[in-house]
Amino acid sequence: MAWWLVPLDAAEELADVRAVSVKPHGWTLHCPPSGQVLRKHLWLNYPDGSGVLTDPAVLAAAFGPGGFRYRVGVQA
């Protein structure tokens, strides 16, 4: 499971993307301090304080038709 921080109005843009669940404003995201592991949770990219959020259109494209797919095995 992975989490992305998106703008507050992203729910409508991501509504048709089945692989993505948008949580409502005010929902608590329990995350570890930057650089630490907490209950097997960790940051893949540390927050940099810029306030930049994930673009919902890019996230939808990654998980929509023709987007990201899990691959099993090794390809030579």
What integer pLDDT is reported at residue 74 of this predicted model? 53
Strand, coil or helix: what is 14?
A: helix
For residues 17-32, average pLDDT: 87
Contact 6, 56 (CB under 8 A): yes
Contact 69, 62 (CB under 8 A): no
The CB-based long-range contact list for 11-14 (8 Å cut-off, 24+ gap) reads 13/56, 13/57, 13/60, 14/56, 14/59, 14/60
pLDDT higher than threshold 50 for residue 17: yes
pTM recorded for the entire structure: 0.69
Strand, coil or helix: what is 38?
A: strand
For residues 4-15, average pLDDT: 90
